[in-house]
A and B are shown apart, each in its own frame.
Chain A
Amino acid sequence: MKNKLKVVLMVLASISISGLVLQFSINAYIQILILQILMYSIAAMGLNLVNGFTGQFSLGHAGFMAIGAYTSAYLSQIFPGFLESTHLLGFFIFSILGGLLAAGFGYVVGLPSLRLKGDYLAIVTLGFGEILRVFLLNIETLGAARGITGIVPYPELGFLDRFWVSFFYIMIWFVVGLYFVWRLTRGRHGRQFLSVREDEVAALSLGLNTTQIKVRSFVIASFYAGVAGSIYAHLISIVSPSVFGFMMSVNIVVMVVLGGMGSFTGSIFAAAFVTLAPELLRSLQAITGYDLRMVVFSLSLILIMIYRPTGLFGSKELPDIVRSWRMKKS
């Protein structure tokens, strides 16, 4: 027990210190990008469970993010003083609530649809995302087309500026999230997910309740999406139906596929890549006069699927790569 406490404290300390370093060393633009990368990584980690490990194809992840985002946003509207008085704890509570609600929806959506074949599931999840969007467009209390604006951002704490607090908060979810899926996939559940991916019929014949396994991965992934959504709400301070549309779901799917389905390291790297590449490509725009970023994005998607379908990391994680690198050297 004491050992675990030491580890937790060390993690918190390193987050705090890196936060400080980043707060003072790099400019605000890169700071925002880093925060967004971390946020999307959380969503991608979750989706990797479904698309990567369990081999199901979900195209509606943004819908679950929307649920988490709106939950957090709405609660912070109707309980205005709550977040201030509880400091960061309030944010955690809202994120958890958002995640739970998203997970609940994940269960409701997942249970009937995970009986369907791969392609069909994709369309159903896409459909769910769209239906949710249309409903949000029509609910006045949630702002309809305007959405919820002016959402409370992460506060400043003395000399620790908004970036540090946001970073600290998001990193905690990031680390906890990563730890959880890591342990999950290296244990019994992970093997079950993989068995469903590799050969569902065989898994069935071995007596595994494949639907339950699939739903489990789906619900967990939805929780992650909900948390990522609640982070979005406070980071960007505005949520509206158009934010969490099909394109966002596609973006996260790309992160999972590009990174390698079955590799969390990959998802994180890909999240960074997908977020940073368009920014870096802006200089291309200056040269050609046209904004070709989305064209490049879609083209790369096609090329990656044809030439390197396993993605950047395949199903390896960072330790595996370091290990094989070390082995090559010797």
Chain B
Amino acid sequence: MKKFLNTTALVLAGLIGFSGCTKKTDEILIGEFGTLTGGEATFGQSTNKGLRMAFDEINGAGGIKGKKIKLITYDNQGKTDETAAVVTRLITQDKVVAIIGEVASGRTLVAAPIAQQYKVPLITPSSTHPKVTEKGDYIFRICFIDPFQGAVMAKFMTENLKLKKVAILRDVKNEYSVGLADTFVKEITQRGGEVLIDVSYQANDIDFKAQLTQIKSKNPEVIFVPGYYTDAGLITVQARQLGIKAVFLGGDGWDSPKLHEIAKEAANGSYFSNHYSTDSTDPVVQEFIQKFKTQFNELPDAMAALGYDAGKVLAMALTNAKEITPENIKNEIAKTKDFPGVTGVITLDEKRNAIKSAVIVKVEGNDKKFVTKMAP
């Protein structure tokens, strides 16, 4: 038995050692892990596009101190055990100096302890679970956390829209949606609002008529749908088909050019919290949208923008680091202050979360019109 195990181990080591070929020392190796296939692939692919674009830009301008960034991307197929293997591979085999990923907090929560253990900085572009950055001082996040967005939307509803009665339609399969919904409910009740009904669906459902019919009978003024655009589009369409006239509110998951394509007029007049608005005069935003459209022949969504910013924040840390080592990079990322990102001005607090304002936008056709800004 022992012999068997030892031989196998050595054989395996040989095999895999083989595939980890020679490393060029004039490249900066950055690792990315994400869900590129499977049920949530569209979000992982978007993030990847934004990230790649960011690095392509940097490399096109000469790289960091003359060295080009090489992005090593591994698909984890949406699985947690594969995340563990992939992140370990990036660190111990590919010897990356920093890691970026992922959209789903569940998977990032597996990656973070590993990155922390090996002292390699990890930036998540869009995981919103508070526990992610608690794993250690090498873990950073450049997006809002759930509690913030939920509170923002609640405040908007009571103070700006001056409405009180809301129905919740949450995606029970996504912790992002559940987290947003929970904080929204808490905030809205504190502000004197009334949650008339709280129903749920599962991501990728196509028929919401049953839930919407229930909601209709309660006659809410607002319907809060803290899910992804992939479902929100159909929800608004079916709601209008059923004759529901309530205003829709959503979170940054709504942000995608596909929302209007699917929903058409049904989504008009809805509001959601986002990182930027398409009519923003900020040149950073406009340039990003243009470049993205040129490179990928489609408009970016929130994930792409966040991926882009994550790449840019990391690049700045790389530039500022005296020597490119994981520890130096970590220190520089922690210093991120007033970084002009597409998704807002990014400053990282002591908990390594981003302090950013949210922008509330109103859906009008293909545009997301700026309504107001909500500071933390």
Contact = CB atoms under 8 A, between A and B. Distances in A.
Interface stretch (A11-19, A51-59, A109-117, A254-262): A11-19
A79 interface: no
B131 A147 contact: no
Nearest to A134: B202
Interface stretch (B11-19, B183-191, B291-299, B336-344): B11-19
Interface in B106-120: 106, 109-110, 113, 118
Interface in B38-85: 38, 74-75, 77-82, 84-85
A238 interface: yes
B2 A17 contact: yes
Contact of A236 (B84, B92, B93, B129): B84
Given A30-B16, A242-B106, A150 B131 contact: yes
A22 B9 contact: yes
A89 B5 CA distance: 25
Contact of A30 (B13, B131, B172): B13
A181 interface: no
Contact of B88 (A11, A29, A241): A29
Nearest to A285: B75
Given A18-B9, A26-B13, A236-B110, A242 B19 contact: no
A291 interface: yes
Interface stretch (A137-145, A185-193, A196-204, A300-308): A137-145
Contacts of B174: 145
Interface in A141-183: 144-147, 149-150, 175
B1 interface: yes
A230 B363 CA distance: 47
Nearest to A28: B92
A11 B1 contact: yes
A29 B178 contact: no
Contact of B105 (A137, A146, A243, A285): A146
Interface residues of A, number: 45
Given A27-B93, A149-B106, A283-B19, A138 B6 contact: no
B364 interface: no
Given A29-B93, A144-B178, A36 B81 contact: yes
Contact of B81 (A147, A232, A282): A232
A149 B109 contact: yes
Most buried by B among A25, A149, A278: A149
B89 A279 contact: yes
B178 A238 contact: no
B77 A294 contact: yes
A21 interface: yes
A238 B109 contact: yes
Interface string B77-105: 11111101100110111000000000001
Given A21-B9, A33-B85, A238 B131 contact: no
B172 A238 contact: no
B2 A29 contact: no
A237 interface: yes
Contacts of B109: 149-150, 238
Contacts of B6: 18, 21
Contacts of A276: 12
Interface string A53-71: 0000000000000000000
A280 interface: yes
A18 B5 contact: yes
A32 interface: yes
Contacts of A278: 82
Given A26-B12, A147-B106, A291 B37 contact: yes
A243 B1 CA distance: 32
A147 B174 CA distance: 11
A237 B129 CA distance: 16
Contacts of A149: 106, 109, 129, 131
Contacts of A279: 16, 85, 89
Contacts of B2: 14, 17-18
A238 B9 contact: no
A210 interface: no
Contacts of B202: 137
Contacts of B84: 32, 235-236
B173 interface: yes
Contacts of A123: none
Given A29-B92, A34-B9, A145-B172, A238 B16 contact: no
23 contacts: A14-B2, A14-B5, A22-B9, A25-B10, A25-B13, A29-B92, A30-B12, A33-B12, A34-B12, A36-B81, A145-B174, A146-B129, A149-B109, A149-B129, A150-B109, A235-B84, A238-B109, A240-B106, A242-B78, A243-B81, A279-B16, A280-B19, A293-B75
Interface of A: 11, 14, 17-18, 21-22, 25-30, 32-34, 36, 137-138, 144-147, 149-150, 175, 232, 235-238, 240-243, 247, 276, 278-280, 282-283, 285, 291, 293-294
Given A29-B93, A146-B178, A175-B1, 14 more contacts: A14-B2, A14-B5, A25-B9, A25-B13, A28-B88, A36-B81, A146-B106, A150-B131, A235-B84, A238-B109, A241-B173, A279-B89, A293-B75, A294-B77
8 nearest A-B residue pairs (beta carbon): A14-B2, A146-B175, A29-B89, A28-B92, A18-B5, A145-B175, A26-B13, A29-B88
